[in-house]
Structure formats: C-alpha cells, structure tokens
Amino acid sequence: MPGPEAGGDPAGDGGASARGRILEAACDLIAAEGLDGVRIARIANAAGISTSLIHYHFDTRERLLEEAIDHSFDRAAGVFQSADDDREEAAAAGSSARLLADRIDQCLPQPGVLERDWLLWWELDLRAVRSPELRPVAARLYGRYHDFLAGPIATGVQSGEFGPCDPREVADLAIALIDGHGGRALIDDPEMPITRVRALIGAMLARELGLPEPRLPFRRLPASAKAGP
C-alpha cells in the first residue's frame, strides 16, 4: 500500500474526516459515471484532498467501491447488529411491521441519495459477475442487507405480531421483491412507480407474515416521490 500523504497524518485527528469526504465523493462520482469512468484525481478534487491520500486509504479501485457501498449502507440504513437493537427499534417505531416497512423504504430507489446508492450496488453486481475476486465482497454486503431485513421479521415472530414463518426465508423474498420491482422504478418504468413498488411489496409480505391488514404500514411518501414518471 502506498505511504501517507506528505505533510499529513491519515491516522491523526483529520483522518476519519478525510476518509468520509473521500467516500462521499466516491459515492457521487461512481454512481454518476461508473467505477471505470472515474479518475482518482476527480475524487480527490471533489473531496478536497490529495490523490496520495486516496491511495493511502484505498489500494485498489475495487476496494474503494467496496467501502463506498459499506459507507452508503451505514449512512442510509444504520448498523443493526443484535436482536436487542431490533427490539428497541421496533418499540421506537411502534411495531415490527412499521420497522420492517421503514427498512424496506430505506432499501428502495427513492429520489435523492437512495437512487445514488442503488447505482453503486448495480456497479458492484456487474463487476462481481466479471471479476470473481469481487464475489465474496458482494456476498458479504448482501449478507448485511439480508440481516437488516430479517431482524424486524424475527422480532415480530418472537413477539407474536407476525404469524409463524422463517424470518430468513421471508427476508430472501423481500430482497427479491425489492431488487426486482425497485430496479424497474429506478429506470423510470411507467408501469412501476415507487408508489406501486411499495404497494406490491407491502401486500405480498403482509400475506407471508400473516398480518390482519392487507399491507405493511408504510409511512406517507414525500410529495416529490409520489408521482410516477
């Protein structure tokens, strides 16, 4: 790995801040232009740091992509690492069904940063198909995605809010629905605006979870996200 930037200490007080700026700039540019189309110098310019500092933190473009996706996931969804976290989040949301709906919303390509994050995931998927060395990275990140959705499902089953089911299987179904329908919304398919995506996913999962209501309790969308293309 290349050495640190001359005159700067990446491990010092500004290291975390510089790393965050690099990752934010990388997220924006990779999503807009693809990993191969982005020059390190442009990321450095957008982040307000030198190229040598980027090379210090990220020794390959693939490593930069991996950490950019981790960064976007942490920011958009947070890190939930235990059943206690899921129980606390469910209590704060009012129910496991509301927490699951909230987390699904955090995984859909709604206008703004979430659309950008979807493009990062697509970039990773395409590169993992062509580059076997990236497949374990993709599998690890999909594991985080899966656990993020399985957590509130398991909590709801344990509390009796949901009917008997395998939380991991239902999370697999949720990912398939999110990725399939969400991809159509991302490309502005006129038959699949984000409102219909939410309705279809909410209805399917409500049936799987044995909810008395025919849909998940999604929150109201902002006006900017309601209209189809």
Question: For residues 228 and 164, which has the higher predicted lDDT (pLDDT)?
Answer: 164
What domains can be seen in the chain, in order of their start residue?
15-59 (1.10.10.60), 78-221 (1.10.357.10)
What was the pLDDT predicted at 225? 59
Q: What does the pLDDT look like over 183-203, one tens digit per residue?
A: 999 999 999 999 999 999 999
* Residue range 41-45: mean pLDDT, rounded: 90
Q: Which residue's structure tokens are 């089911």?
A: 165
Question: For residues 221 and 80, which has the higher predicted lDDT (pLDDT)?
Answer: 221
Separation CA 205–CA 97 (nearest Å): 10
CA 98 → CA 79, 105, 156, 160, distances in Å? 18, 11, 10, 15
Residue 2 corresponds to which amino acid? P
DSSP per residue, 155-185: HHHHHTSS-S--HHHHHHHHHHHHHHHHHHH
Q: What does the pLDDT look like over 97-115, one tens digit per residue?
A: 999 999 999 899 988 778 8
Separation CA 133–CA 96 (nearest Å): 37
**Burial of 31: CB neighbours in 10 Å, binned 0-12, 13-18, 19+:** buried
Binned at pLDDT 50, 70 and 90, residue 223 comes out as low
- Quote the pTM value: 0.79
What was the pLDDT predicted at 201? 98
Residue 133 has pLDDT above 50, yes or no: yes
